[in-house]
Structure 1
């Protein structure tokens, strides 16, 4: 299994998960043209996608979903609440049920219920039998259920949206500050770090920091907060950004050992 990001932040989000010949696009918050360009930069055409999965109906996650799906005949999976939240979307969709796994090609998908200010939001865990990848963004609170579901992952794509000091002293009006920092908003750097401290990291090889606010956070602050929690960890800490996204990252369920050939059998 491998994953990458076409871009992550308040101006658009799209994450790609691949195993074998199955390629799943999680959200499409960019225009059709931008999505096509960013896929091409990763060596792919939209014709090579298997399906689109939608976490929730906010525009930075669904702006390009309808046009991409129609142009390339792609099935779209989302909760019924998310579909109705898209307001008369001209789109046939495959309904999914929270916390009930289903399979698309070579990947088993588990939609996980999360607290966010949307109609029926979810995030996803992907399992191809060898590796497990969790995507967890747009979540206001880390619940015990999330901790339970996101245990024993090989990789985690995790939101660290804001720094509380920057949010409190930034350009957002009080009402928007309360929304972002509330129980149905987004995860702060500190909440993301607490999530990492709480989960079983024995198999975890990759952590990608995602959905960083351009106005209420800085990459160095997010990296510093999470790195302090991961001091005893020997995996990779990565960063998905708004304009460049994140290149392909391969996930290995087990370490690969290279032995010298001694000539004996």
Structure 2
């Protein structure tokens, strides 16, 4: 399907309007942070839900709800005040290759970030570039694992410097930074701008982007992400990742 740039923009803008609304929340992991109103709870619940956001969406949502339950429905309070004995109940947790030991490590690393680095937002904004957060993601991973940690847990935080598309972290950043005025994305990180975001690139968005001529590269990796970013910034430099709703919706809901 080859459209002129203006036609493609009109087509995708229409799909953004169709999918970027509260109905989207019902079948998406973004419903997990939507259970909370406090900034830190939203950040932490969102980060944990995004971390396990691969595989079947029903099981992602079920297991992310389980994570919140294990943190006593108060993620920030749990992370800041836990005793070692409180962590034992996390050990049986499992979602695909993310297990209870990884979960415990995430709780410890998150506490370290809030106690030592002034929270998640400040880590990401500290290393942000004018038009990209990919260096931020790389630096965030270093900060996340600067305390003693299990080697195996490192694979659950992507690194763009290893040519990863870092789909889940880019999705998380969209949730936190983009204020869509439609009640889906939160827009609670005012130190960052939607123009710095990158599209969460996965099988669905990648396939649709290729069909629409937005992406030529075959693999869904860091290089493909740069290519897709450039194409989406061409359509809307201020809010390029709004098109994630269009690409995802066309792939998942319309079987485009």
Q: Same fold (TM over 0.5)?
A: no
Q: What TM-score does the superposition give when structure 1 sets the normalisation length?
A: 0.30
Normalized per residue, the structure richer in helix is 2
Q: What TM-score does the superposition give when structure 2 sets the normalisation length?
A: 0.31
Normalized per residue, the structure richer in strand is 1
